[in-house]
């Protein structure tokens, strides 16, 4: 099955009770049973069944199975947001005294989370460069995980998953990849060697900008050393599934960050058009990046531009696509604001992955809590504009942006 067929027909092992073509929205908190014995069996995991939506719900299961199929995992758990997914995944294996190695050009919320984890005694080392050569000396016996974004938002650095996963595995640690901006349409991190893939489903997977969510997918191939990963010791009997079982029946369930059933449904129908949307979004972004490059006043950052530092990864790792995010520098904050304010179609909004084109000035919004150094490591400067390209007609988008830029120069 190819990608677009798989999107529609790939996880049909979920049988809907009345043969509905879509999973019904089980908008309930709890599920009722005929006898106490039956419910007892569900709690003992001796029979399949749902008890309470924080722990499981059929609409959420349907979405989990769809994403799991797309990424080629052994199991997936949906969360209330991308941040809930990242925090649950990390807290499933890290405890006080442990270290995380992470990229420096990450999503601002993830950087903030790493700062919060310091208060729990979990220390993050930010690697300015995620090459194996730069990472190797940062690994020590306290390192529990390497965390990176496949295409970092908004820095547009590409993680060399085959090389970094080989290094991580040599050291006995897993590689967790946030693939929100790449999506399984562009690349599948588990196939490239990553151990766990995480998405904010709020972005491209949902696509319509109508619900917040996250998902953790376990590749199920990593050999967990139970001596090293003490948090997994109770789950040893599950072997290679120890991580996902620890998440589902333990940390995620107890932190309480489940996805809402209605959001699971909206994201389920949203993801079915992922292939079509990404095809159009990437083509639009490529055209817009080339059009904006014509202005000597701007410096444009997009992966398919020939002078981009990560250009070679477009063919090597991203199936020829550059993704939906492009950034450009304007020379000053004033000009950045002026351009943004005169756009007719692009919406000023703090999000990415919508079918509508969205723009933002990251320095005065997403990075307001970061230091200058951290911000610049994430590719964000005082004059940077981030664009999340949508599916509008490319001619209209190009006209909108080029007119806005022209009017800012006059
Ligand atoms: C948005 C985003 C997140 C956080 O997801 P939420 O759903 O907003 O919690 C994490 N990583 C990346 C790369 C993102 O773009």
Pocket probe mutation, ligand 1, options 90, 157, 183, 203, max atoms within 8 Å of Cβ: 203
> Token pair for residue 237?
């009997």
- Residue listed under structure tokens 């690349």: 187
Q: What is the DSSP string of 182-214?
A: THHHH--HHHHT-SEEEEETTTTTT-SS----E
Same domain, 240 and 348: no
Q: Do 211 and 304 sit in the same domain of this protein? A: no
The protein residue with its alpha carbon nearest to ligand 1, atom 8, reads 82
Question: pLDDT band at 13, cuts 50/70/90?
Answer: low
- Residue 14 confidence (pLDDT): 64
Strands 325-329 and 299-301: antiparallel
For ligand 1, atom 1: residue with the closest CA: 200
Number of domains into which the chain is organized:
2
Instruction: Please report which confidence band the pLDDT of residue 239 belongs to, taking 50, 70 and 90 as the band edges.
Output: confident
168 and 69 within one domain: yes
Residue 240 pLDDT greater than 90, yes or no = no
Tokens 């129908």 -> residue? 269
Tokens of 188: 């599948």
Q: Are residues 285 and 216 in the same domain?
A: no
Residue 5, pLDDT > 80, answer: yes
The parent domain of residue 340 ranges over: 274-409
Residue 75 has which token pair? 């199991």
Which CATH number goes with the domain that contains 282?
3.90.1150.10
Asked if 335 and 195 sit in the same domain, the reply is no
Question: Please, which residues bridge with residue 52 across strands?
Answer: 30
State which of 270, 299, 327 marks the end of a domain: 270
Q: Residue 215: beta bridge partners?
A: 78, 199
Confidence at residue 307, expressed as pLDDT on a 0 to 100 scale: 95
How far is C-alpha 29 from the chain's CA centre? 27
Average pLDDT over residues 53-61: 96
What DSSP line would sit under 3-37, residue for residue? Answer: HHHHHHHTTTTSPPTT--SS------SB---SSHH
For residues 49-56, average pLDDT: 96
CA of 203 to the centre of ligand 1 (A): 8
Of 223, 251, 270, the residue at which a domain comes to its end is 270
User: Residue 4: its pLDDT value, please?
Assistant: 96
Instruction: Supply the pLDDT for residue 12.
Output: 64
Encode pLDDT of 215-228 as tens digits: 999 999 999 999 99
Residue nearest to atom 5 of ligand 1 (CA): 82
Atom of ligand 1 nearest to the CA of 352: 15
Average pLDDT over the chain, rounded to whole? 96
User: Are 348 and 220 members of one domain?
Assistant: no
- Residue 227 per-residue DSSP state: T
- Confidence band (pLDDT; 50, 70, 90) for 176? very high
Residue 192 pLDDT grade (very low, low, confident, very high; cuts 50, 70, 90): very high
State the distance from the centre of ligand 1 to the C-alpha of 180, rounded, in angstroms.
7
Q: Please, which pLDDT band fits residue 16 given cuts at 50, 70 and 90?
A: confident
> Are 334 and 395 part of one and the same domain?
yes
Question: Does position 177 have pLDDT exceeding 90, yes or no?
Answer: yes
Ligand 1 center to 326 CA (angstroms): 17
Residues 120-143 have pLDDT tens digits of: 999 999 998 999 999 999 999 999
237 contact partners, CB below 8 Å, separation of at least 6: none
Does residue 89 sit in the same domain as residue 196?
Answer: yes
On whether both 307 and 329 belong to a single domain, the answer is yes
Q: Is pLDDT larger for residue 329 or for residue 105?
A: 329
Residues 265 and 281 in one domain: no
pLDDT score for 277: 98
Residue 105's pLDDT is: 84
Q: What atom of ligand 1 comes closest to residue 106's alpha carbon?
A: 13
Note whether 338 and 228 are same-domain residues.
no
Report whether pLDDT(290) > 80. Answer: yes
Q: Domain with 199 in it: what CATH number? A: 3.40.640.10
At residue 11, the pLDDT reads 80
Does 170 share its domain with 193? Answer: yes
List ligand 1's pocket residues with C-beta within 6 A: 81-83, 107, 109-110, 149, 153, 178, 180-181, 200, 202-203, 212, 214, 352
Name the band, by pLDDT with cuts 50, 70 and 90, for residue 253.
very high
Percent of the chain with pLDDT over 90: 90
Instruction: Look at residue 24 and tell me whether its pLDDT is greater than 80.
Output: yes
Ligand 1 centroid, distance to 216 Cα (angstroms): 12
Q: Tell me which of 90, 107, 210 to substitute to probe ligand 1's pocket, judged by most ligand atoms within 8 Å of the beta carbon.
A: 107
| Burial class of residue 248, CB neighbours in 10 A (0-12, 13-18, 19+) | buried
CA of 248 to the centre of ligand 1 (A): 21
pLDDT at 35 over 80: yes
CA-closest candidate to residue 300, choices 398, 192, 163:
398
Q: Is 344 helix (H, G, I), strand (E, B) or coil?
A: coil
Most confident of 94-108, 318-332, 357-371: 318-332
Choose one of 270, 302, 335: the last residue of a domain: 270
Percentage of residues of the chain with pLDDT beyond 70: 99
Q: Ligand 1 centre from 234 Cα, in Å?
A: 30
Query: Which ligand 1 atom sits nearest the alpha carbon of residue 84?
Result: 9
Of the candidates 176, 204, 173, the one whose C-alpha atom is nearest the C-alpha of residue 70 is 204
């Amino acid at each position: 099955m190819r990608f677009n067929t798989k999107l529609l027909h790939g996880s049909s092992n979920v049988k809907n009770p009345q043969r509905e073509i879509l999973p019904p929205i089980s908008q309930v908190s709890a599920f009722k049973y005929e006898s106490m014995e039956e419910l007892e069996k569900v709690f003992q995991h001796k029979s399949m069944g749902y008890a309470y939506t924080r722990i499981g719900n059929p609409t959420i299961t349907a979405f989990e199975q769809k994403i799991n199929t797309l990424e080629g995992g052994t199991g997936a758990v949906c969360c209330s947001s991308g941040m809930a997914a990242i925090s649950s995944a990390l807290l499933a294996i890290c405890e006080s005294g442990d270290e995380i190695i992470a990229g420096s050009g990450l999503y601002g919320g993830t950087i903030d989370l790493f700062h919060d984890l310091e208060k729990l005694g979990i220390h993050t080392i930010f690697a300015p460069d995620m090459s194996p050569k730069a990472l190797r000396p940062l690994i020590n016996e306290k390192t529990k995980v390497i965390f990176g974004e496949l295409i970092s938002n908004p820095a547009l650095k590409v993680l060399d998953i085959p090389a970094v996963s080989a290094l991580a595995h040599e050291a006995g640690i897993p590689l967790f990849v946030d693939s929100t901006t790449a999506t399984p349409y562009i690349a599948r991190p588990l196939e490239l060697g990553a151990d766990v893939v995480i998405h904010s489903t709020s972005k491209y997977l949902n696509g319509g900008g109508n619900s917040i969510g996250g998902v953790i997918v376990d590749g199920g191939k990593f050999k967990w050393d139970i001596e090293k990963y003490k948090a997994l010791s109770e789950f040893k009997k599950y072997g290679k599934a120890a991580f996902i079982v620890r998440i589902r029946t333990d940390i995620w369930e107890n932190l309480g960050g489940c996805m809402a059933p209605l959001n699971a449904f909206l994201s389920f129908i949203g993801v079915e058009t992922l292939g079509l949307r990404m095809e159009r979004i990437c083509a639009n972004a490529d055209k817009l990046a080339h059009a904006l490059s014509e202005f000597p006043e701007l410096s444009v950052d997009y992966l398919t531009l020939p002078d981009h530092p990560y250009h070679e990864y477009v063919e090597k790792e991203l199936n020829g696509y550059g993704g939906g995010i492009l950034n450009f520098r304007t020379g000053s904050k004033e000009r950045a604001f002026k351009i943004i304010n005169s756009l007719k179609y692009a919406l000023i909004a703090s999000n990415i992955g919508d079918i509508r084109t969205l723009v933002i000035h990251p320095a005065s919004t997403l990075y307001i809590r970061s230091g200058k150094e951290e911000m610049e490591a994430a590719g964000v400067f005082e004059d940077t504009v981030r664009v999340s390209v949508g599916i509008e007609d490319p001619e209209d988008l190009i006209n909108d942006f080029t007119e806005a830029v022209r009017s800012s120069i006059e």
